[in-house]
Amino acid sequence: MAKSPFYCNRSEAFEAHDDIPLSPKDAPTIGEVVYRRYSRRDVIRGSLGVAAAAALFGSGALGADTAAAKQAPESRFDFDEVAAGIDETHHVADGYEAQILLRWGDPLFPDSPPFDPNNQSPAAQLKQFGYNNDYIGFIPLNEDGSQALLCVNHEYTNEEVMFPGLGRQDKEACFSGMTKELVDIEMAAHGVSIVEIAKQDDLWKVRLDSPYNRRISSLTKMSVDGPAAGHARLHTKDDPDGQTITGTLNNCAGGVTPWGTYLASEENFHGYFWTEDHDGACTPAEGLGGDQAESYARYGVPALWYAWGRYYDRFNVDREPNEANRFGWVCEIDPFDPASTPVKHTALGRYRHEGAECLLNKDGRAVVYCGDDGKFDYVYRFVSKGTYDPDDRAANMWLLSEGTLSAARFNDDGSVDWLPLVFGENGLTPENGFASQADVVINARLAADKLGATRMDRPEDIQPNLENGRVYLMLTNNTKREADDTDTANPRGDNAFGHIIEMTPPDGDHAAAHYAWDMLVQCGDPSVAGIGAVWNPDTSESGWFACPDNAAVDSEGRLWVATDQGEYWDRTGKADGLYAMETEGDGRSTAKLFFRCPVGAEMCGPCFAPDQETAFVAVQHPGTDGTDKYPGFERASTFEDPATRWPDFDPAMPPRPSVVAITKKGGGKIA
């Protein structure tokens, strides 16, 4: 996931551009909406008025002195909570096993070389599990789900703990240690891994001989469809027709479609682009982009997070100014056909995609929810033009090629308006810089600016719950929001801890123009009044959390939330983890900690096997974030000197991002 305020535990100078809000300041913010809806005095200092609290969070949010009953509500989650804290390893609730299923560098094919961190190569990495696993998609291969495909995103790389003898590579050092060989390994470590797994003797095992196993990387050829396909702004020297794009990168959260394909979202693509017009500290000059300067500025291109553009012209905006327009999309991958060409669907818009959760609406149309993970950026929804055909999978794979993209406006009265981003309507016209629908989707951020969408506190995963008909929006944080720049749906200035919004489509219609919205929880420590956190009072000291990021709904309709505090976990003193979140009844807005990450790691990709007997989670960048604040270590990690060597704890191995399979001892359903 995107880091905030800084990305990948790199230096402030290296990541400053990602910390700059790029949406227009005069647009309405979600914080302003929350305050107007519930009134400023009711939500400051960590407590609401009784009526406002009941309306906002349900009666369960009322304190013991105002609630009708003091007896703790019955929990829907049956497990003993993990104690919050931080150390070198992971922790899971008592009675559960946490199996390390896939680690960076693990073989995926019969001819994959063994992982040797001291002798890495691009060719080896393309046959091994990639780096920094994020979203996990579980696609069953048989009726009971004991055989399945795991589709796993690989978001980015941490050179300082990935390569020996290198140390941190950032703008301050102008990537002085990077070579073409190291860049090629990084490029191979990005993308997606598709791997078959099978459950044997209560353990999940990787099938190296599976015909489905595949690595997709920044080198994989992809097609492009939708309004921007073939548009001049996608033309490059290598692809003068704008129809074939090489690679995908910064794949964050994603989704699985009802027709069994995998959606990989491209998030912080701007960081991969380079310019020779920079100072000695590798800071890009302003005003780059020529006639695309406004678009460059709105998307933060170029940001120089990587040295790829030093060696490859396509990532150098001076030499290939259109290449950045070819990233920031949602890619659809057919996991059942390793020879298939992934498709970038431009109809879903170009921005820093977080998630692509897909469902079938009651009228048969496909609906995809996405967040744009930037401070003060927007929530989006795509509704397909066509409808699902259960007898024609090939036709269903065109559903995301055409439809209506909308951005959300959250209103003071608890309603949400979906604002269609359609060329020729509501100011999306040539006189405002939009010559076609292609311009609208390429510059979706600018289009949403024009329509007055609500500026949000870093919208990340958006998880529909088909059991209760609601949709849960993770808002990670926004430390750039000022106290006088708040609204009903983003109620806190200097919001370091985030919150979760619940949206309700009318009559379960996910294509409706108007929804209702409510607040599920305001995150952070409820015992510190100035934070403004609001939880059900039955939430324990270990149960409250900060910075919700990914989410999942299990087969029983229960919400699970994964957190990403970045390097600022010291604000809570807690490692990131996976939390069970109550959304119903008197227990609403109560959370319980189920799995805790090792130091410096982020929790990603929670998903559940259909029988509810396995939870899969992705532990990303162990040993990196905020290790200078880790008591007893208090320095930045390197390959030779990491804060933890999780999960191997082998002195010859660096920390390795890994997918973990969690099962109940003796069998049975999770929680």
3-state secondary structure of 291: helix
In the chain (671 residues long), the average pLDDT of successive 10-residue segments reads: 35 45 66 50 37 43 39 87 98 98 98 98 98 98 96 98 93 92 98 97 96 98 98 98 98 97 98 91 89 96 96 97 98 98 98 97 98 97 98 97 98 97 98 98 98 98 97 97 94 96 98 98 96 96 98 97 97 98 97 98 97 98 98 98 98 98 97 96
pTM: 0.92
Q: What's residue 280's pLDDT?
A: 80
Distance set, CA 354 to CA 104, 462, 622 (Å): 22, 8, 21
Instruction: Give the pair of three-digit tokens for residue 573.
Output: 């003193």
Q: What's residue 183's pLDDT?
A: 98
Is residue 591 within 8 Å of residue 545, measured between CB atoms? yes
Fold category of 12-664 in CATH: Neuraminidase (2.120.10)
Q: What's residue 38's pLDDT?
A: 52
629-635 long-range contacts, Cβ below 8 Å, gap at least 24?
629/567, 629/569, 629/570, 630/86, 630/599, 630/600, 633/599
Q: What's residue 456's pLDDT?
A: 97
221-225 vs 343-345, strand pairing mode: parallel
The end-to-end CA distance of the chain, in Å, is 26
Instruction: Give the pair of three-digit tokens for residue 91.
Output: 């922790």
Q: Which residue has the tokens 């807005």?
A: 589
Q: Minimal CA–CA distance to 622: which of 569, 548, 544?
A: 569
Is residue 660 within 8 Å of residue 622, measured between CB atoms? no
Cβ contacts of 616 within 8 Å, gap of 6 or more: 101, 136, 138, 150, 605, 606, 607, 608, 609, 659, 660, 661, 662
CB atoms < 10 A from the CB of 425, how many? 12
Q: What's residue 67's pLDDT?
A: 37
Exposure letters 343-376 (e unless 16+ CB within 10 A, then b): bbbbbbbbbbbbbbbbbbbeeebbbbbbbbbbbb
Instruction: Give the pair of three-digit tokens for residue 627.
Output: 């290790």
Q: What's residue 170's pLDDT?
A: 85
Exposure letters 277-304 (e unless 16+ CB within 10 A, then b): ebeeebbbeeebbeebeebbebbbbbbb
Is residue 613 within 8 Å of residue 97, measured between CB atoms? no
In this structure, is the dihedral angle defined by the CA atoms of residues 522, 527, 529 and 530, taken in order, positive or negative? negative
Is residue 37 within 8 Å of residue 29, measured between CB atoms? no
Q: What's residue 51's pLDDT?
A: 36
Residues facing 478 on adjacent strands: 495
CA–CA gap between residue 166 and residue 505 (Å, rounded) = 51
Q: Minimal CA–CA distance to 131: which of 105, 150, 111, 112?
A: 105
Residues facing 518 on adjacent strands: 502
**Sequence spans of domains, the chain:** 12-664
Q: What's residue 290's pLDDT?
A: 92
Is residue 602 within 8 Å of residue 9, measured between CB atoms? no
